[in-house]
Amino acid sequence: MRAWIALFSAIACEVTGTLALKLFGLQTPWLAVAVTGSLIVLSYLLLSLAFRRIPVAVAFAVWEAVGLAAVTLLGVWLLGDHLTKLQLLALGGLLLGAWLLHGGTQPPKAGAGGEA
């Protein structure tokens, strides 16, 4: 459970750092660099903690897909960005891919048609 908390904390740091580039970038570029750099470093540290218990392929896929979806949707909500139906479908495909990767790493359940 702690690994998943670390993973979603890493995602929150990545998303916040990425949005800071847009929010602070033009008026105070030094603040954008400081905030974004710090949060990205923290994100990678938390991601490395998640890698201890979650397979790398799953953790990285979830980190990227959920992070990208969050940045995109927050950009629409907070920054006035626009999405087409095709872009929304692509985000759904990313999330589906991460979910399928996660499902493919689950050990088979006892008595589920596999070897005994």
Confidence band for 23, pLDDT divided at 50, 70 and 90: confident
Does any domain span residue 52? yes
Which domain range does residue 69 map to?
2-103
pLDDT in tens, 31-72: 999 999 999 999 999 999 999 999 998 999 899 999 999 999
Give CA–CA dist 80/70, Å, rounded. Answer: 14
Does any domain span residue 59? yes
Residue with tokens 């400081």: 34
Does any domain span residue 112? no
Does any domain span residue 116? no
> What is the structure's pLDDT at 83?
93
Does any domain span residue 56? yes
- Does residue 26 have a pLDDT over 60? yes
Give the chain's domain count.
1
pTM of the model: 0.82
> What is the structure's pLDDT at 103?
79
Cβ distance 47 to 9 under 8 Å?
A: no
> What is the structure's pLDDT at 66?
93
Q: Which of 57, 67, 69, 52 minimizes the C-alpha distance to 10?
A: 67
57 Cβ contact partners less than 8 Å away, ≥ 6 residues apart: 101, 105
Cβ distance 34 to 78 under 8 Å?
A: no
